[in-house]
Chains A and B, each alone.
Chain A
Amino acid sequence: MFTRFNTGAAALAAVALSGTLAAQTAWAENAVSIGFQQEPTTLDPTSDATAAIDGIVTHNVLESLTTVNEAGEVFPDLAESWTISDDGLTYVFTLRQGVKYHDGTDFDAEDVKFSYDRAMAEDSENPTKDIFKPIAAVEITGPHEITMKLNNKDAFFLFNIARGDASIVAPESVDANKTAPIGTGPYRFDGWTRGDRLTLVKNPDHRDADKVAMDKVTFRFISDPAAASAALLAGELDAFPGFPAPEMLPQFEADPRFVVVVGSTEGEVILAMNNAKPPFDNLQVRRAISHAIDRGAIIDGAMYGRATPIGSFYPPHGPAYVDLTGQYPHDVAKAREMFEAEGVSGSTMTLRVPPFPYAMRSAEIIQAQLAEAGIDAKVENVEWGFWLDEIYKKQNYDMTIIAHTSPNDMRNFARGKSYFYGFEDPEFTALWDSISTEADDAKRTSLLQDGQKYLAENAIHGFLFQLPQLGVYDARLQGYWSSSPVLFEPLSNLSWTQ
């Protein structure tokens, strides 16, 4: 029951860039060095919500039954093919044969059942248990055939089981996956020096091994943007997807050695309001806050113009997107009037901000904008652990700023009052139920549009912008994704141009 958040945390400590570690000639030996801002907490995507785990392990070391491409389309992976019954409730997967885990054991239907039963168990640690909720039973119907029965139709089912949360693990090796994951993927886990780097090496026994160009992939964990920039310029890193400092990009754009890629993510950045707590339980107050916010200035000031504004909770690149950014035009006088009418003018609100550059910078601007409208917002920069505990779990906050990076996460509004939004409306819950069970694309699109309009109409949160995927890459590197429809990205397509 956990939404993933972009945790591109800017730690204060600059990472020391040791000269002796530099100049590993990645170019020559078909290796690549990739910079990550966030270091994974563990290496098991089925037990921890940290997004960096998926970025490294999912579909590289561990595989799932299905996979997703950059456009968000579903493809077979460990399941070779599948059939769906007419009522949409029974899925029969034909599994790939001859697949072996990195430790030499065989992959079969038993492993699939084990993995799903483990994720669905009462005491499961799985961070996204609700994607397994529709599953009534997982049955082995042949040595290489699995049948899943659903309780209700789920339009996102095949997409969801591509996620790291639904990785297929082996009962023999599952316990060690947190530190040394063993899967069936094109890369094997090689080593992890905490605080510094993690290496993967090519799995020569993988079915697609002849198409995998990079023999070795090194992930370096550098949280400080200035240090990351220095490492790129020094040639220590070949790629930095999710670069945290948009203001540093012009430097790389001007340098022919690098390519700057601006893509999209599923991350809606919102000014979340605690709907369970006065005055945010008052629709007029929430609307007034929406009027007080100037998205243009936030995007310009916090993201240096590199983000798309959103007026509701759905990514602008998605097929069902409706532009609702005009619903509450920036109007200080109107906001001020509305605050006065509701008797909250001049009151103090806290804005507790997690330690990510996009959030901290937006907070400073929003604070100034609310001040103009007569609200005194106190900004508190808090640690990520504190944020998860106090805000996410205990709902102890007025307002916060956060990017929701999971796909299809409009479901958050149907999670009830125990979710940190403090929001519940049977009308929306019913709407989400019909969205998630609607199999017809056109009908689902129309329902998703209703959902966006509902959220904007009720101004549940201040909807700010879609988090961009800002990547800096060596100009000779190819085969990476510019956009992130999911939290993982396959490394098997990476290669050097001649």
Chain B
Amino acid sequence: MNARLPVNILIGAALVAVVMFAALLSAIWTPYPYAGIDVANKFAAPSGAHWLGTDQLGRDLVSQLMAAAGNSMGVAVVAVGIGCSIGTALGLLAAAKGGWIEELIMRLSDLGFAFPALLFAIMLAAAFGPSLSMVVIAIAFINIPTFARVTRAAANQIWRREYVFAARAAGMSTFAISRDHILPNIAAPVIVQATIEFAVAILVEAALSYLGLGAQPPEPSWGRMLAEAQTLMYLAPQLAVWPGLCIVTAVLGFGLLGDGLRDISDPRLARRRPA
């Protein structure tokens, strides 16, 4: 693996770094309070004071985009984190136990797959009221079967390795083998999957907030900013452009990064690549 890193990883990582930096920075600093309303100064043009100008209520656009990045990343990290933890645990269990337990977990995963994410989120919002927490739960839920499948498929391969047989012969428990031998060896595909799921999570959060089912005012969200900009297309088209660009940047960044990571972690693809 002395080859140069693929271009898609480099571009993806750079985009992700920008979004991550903005998100982390927004936790401690934004140029203005993101919800700071100054109606007299609405639709201000970009300037030294407001780098991208202000929105229809005079709120600083940069501050809102940064805070929205924080929200978006927060939702993605927590939701994918939960989905990944539960899904991976279930996948490991399925691979380790086999038999009816494996069957059950995999069939339940199929069931989970059959559920469209947006529909599930809309159902949750209808039942418990729209909020970012509901978005997190919805995204986490749809991530569980994905990770369960990826983990199980990878883990089943590792279970057939000689060192696992050896560990078993030495009397190691199934749990200990899963923890010490299987998990470290399946980390690569799980991380790749998590990166791709990040992109999906960001998109789902934006879509739900756009529909009014996610972030509630004044919580910042790219999707909500897009929705609010919709009727302002004639007066101030830039208000739709910036959050749109942010969504594209984040989704493209995680997408490229995930694809690139998969390329270098997949031995079949790696072998095909010229040295």
Do the beta carbons of B234 and A251 come within 8 Å of each other?
yes
B36 contacts across to A, CB distance below 8 A:
368
Query: Given A360-B217, A379-B217, does the pair A365, B235 have CB atoms closer than 8 Å?
Result: no
Query: Given A12-B211, A251-B234, does the pair A368, B35 have CB atoms closer than 8 Å?
Result: yes
Q: Does B39 contact A (CB under 8 A)?
A: yes
Do the beta carbons of A297 and B37 come within 8 Å of each other?
yes
Query: Given A301-B57, A379-B216, does the pair A247, B235 have CB atoms closer than 8 Å?
Result: yes
Q: Which of B107-122 contact A (CB under 8 A)?
A: none
Do the beta carbons of B39 and A364 come within 8 Å of each other?
no
A365 contacts across to B, CB distance below 8 A:
37, 39, 57
Q: Does B157 contact A (CB under 8 A)?
A: no
Q: Does A447 contact B (CB under 8 A)?
A: no
Do the beta carbons of B218 and A364 come within 8 Å of each other?
yes
A341 contacts across to B, CB distance below 8 A:
none
Q: Does B42 contact A (CB under 8 A)?
A: yes
The residue that B231 contacts in the complex, of A225, A298, A367, A369, with Cβ under 8 A, is A225
Shortest B241–chain A CB gap in Å is 16
Query: Interface size on B (CB < 8 Å)?
Result: 20
A278 contacts across to B, CB distance below 8 A:
none
Q: Which of A38-79 contact B (CB under 8 A)?
A: none
- Contact count A vs B, C-beta below 8 Å: 54
Do the beta carbons of B230 and A367 come within 8 Å of each other?
no
Query: Interface size on A (CB < 8 Å)?
Result: 24
A296 contacts across to B, CB distance below 8 A:
39
Q: Which of B41-58 contact A (CB under 8 A)?
A: 42, 56-58
Do the beta carbons of B37 and A368 come within 8 Å of each other?
yes
A367 contacts across to B, CB distance below 8 A:
217-218
Q: Does B252 contact A (CB under 8 A)?
A: no
Shortest A306–chain B CB gap in Å is 13
Q: For the complex, would chain B's binding face be called helix, strand, loop or mixed by DSSP majority?
A: loop
Q: For the complex, would chain A's binding face be called helix, strand, loop or mixed by DSSP majority?
A: helix
Q: Does A98 contact B (CB under 8 A)?
A: no
Q: Which of A241-256 contact B (CB under 8 A)?
A: 245, 247-248, 250-251
B57 contacts across to A, CB distance below 8 A:
301, 364-365
**Smallest Cβ-Cβ distance to B233: which chain A residue:** A226
CA distance A247 to B40 in the complex (A): 15
Q: Which of A358-412 contact B (CB under 8 A)?
A: 360, 363-365, 367-369, 379-381
CA distance A363 to B58 in the complex (A): 15
Q: Does B232 contact A (CB under 8 A)?
A: yes
Q: Does B212 contact A (CB under 8 A)?
A: yes
Shortest A232–chain B CB gap in Å is 13
CA distance A363 to B35 in the complex (A): 13
Q: Does A175 contact B (CB under 8 A)?
A: no
Do the beta carbons of A300 and B40 come within 8 Å of each other?
yes
CA distance A164 to B35 in the complex (A): 44
Interface string of B224-252 (1 = CB under 8 A from A): 00000011111100000000000000000
CA distance A94 to B24 in the complex (A): 78
Interface string of B186-217 (1 = CB under 8 A from A): 00000000000000000000000001100011
CA distance A225 to B217 in the complex (A): 19
A368 contacts across to B, CB distance below 8 A:
35-37, 218
Interface string of A22-33 (1 = CB under 8 A from B): 000000000000
CA distance A247 to B56 in the complex (A): 9
Query: Given A12-B212, A300-B42, does the pair A364, B234 have CB atoms closer than 8 Å?
Result: no
Shortest A120–chain B CB gap in Å is 40
CA distance A368 to B37 in the complex (A): 7
B39 contacts across to A, CB distance below 8 A:
296-298, 300-301, 365
A248 contacts across to B, CB distance below 8 A:
231, 234
**Smallest Cβ-Cβ distance to A229: which chain B residue:** B231
The residue that A247 contacts in the complex, of B35, B212, B216, B232, with Cβ under 8 A, is B232
Query: Given A12-B212, A379-B217, does the pair A245, B37 have CB atoms closer than 8 Å?
Result: no
CA distance A297 to B56 in the complex (A): 12
Do the beta carbons of B231 and A381 come within 8 Å of each other?
no
Do the beta carbons of B231 and A247 come within 8 Å of each other?
yes
CA distance A296 to B231 in the complex (A): 22
Do the beta carbons of B42 and A226 come within 8 Å of each other?
no
A225 contacts across to B, CB distance below 8 A:
231
A381 contacts across to B, CB distance below 8 A:
212, 216-217
A298 contacts across to B, CB distance below 8 A:
39
Shortest A218–chain B CB gap in Å is 24
Shortest A299–chain B CB gap in Å is 9
CA distance A359 to B235 in the complex (A): 21
CA distance A300 to B40 in the complex (A): 8
CA distance A248 to B230 in the complex (A): 10
CA distance A247 to B228 in the complex (A): 11
Q: Of A247, A248, A380, which is in contact with the most chain B CB atoms at under 10 Å from its CB?
A: A247
Shortest A396–chain B CB gap in Å is 15
Shortest A464–chain B CB gap in Å is 14
B37 contacts across to A, CB distance below 8 A:
297, 301, 364-365, 368-369
A363 contacts across to B, CB distance below 8 A:
217
**Smallest Cβ-Cβ distance to B57: which chain A residue:** A301
**Smallest Cβ-Cβ distance to A244: which chain B residue:** B231
B212 contacts across to A, CB distance below 8 A:
12, 381
CA distance A245 to B56 in the complex (A): 13
Shortest A181–chain B CB gap in Å is 33
Do the beta carbons of A364 and B56 come within 8 Å of each other?
no
Query: Given A245-B231, A379-B217, does the pair A301, B35 have CB atoms closer than 8 Å?
Result: no
CA distance A477 to B35 in the complex (A): 43
A247 contacts across to B, CB distance below 8 A:
56, 231-232, 235
**12 CB < 8 A contacts A-B:** A225-B231, A247-B56, A247-B232, A247-B235, A296-B39, A301-B39, A301-B42, A360-B217, A367-B218, A379-B216, A379-B218, A381-B217
Q: A368-B37, A379-B218 are in contact. List 16 more A-B contacts (CB 8 A).
A: A226-B231, A229-B231, A247-B56, A247-B231, A247-B232, A248-B231, A297-B39, A298-B39, A301-B37, A301-B42, A360-B217, A364-B57, A365-B37, A367-B217, A379-B217, A381-B216
Chain A residues at the B interface, C-beta cutoff of 8 Å: 12, 225-226, 229, 245, 247-248, 250-251, 296-298, 300-301, 360, 363-365, 367-369, 379-381
7 tightest Cβ-Cβ pairs between the two chains A and B: A301-B39, A251-B234, A368-B37, A297-B39, A245-B231, A300-B39, A301-B57
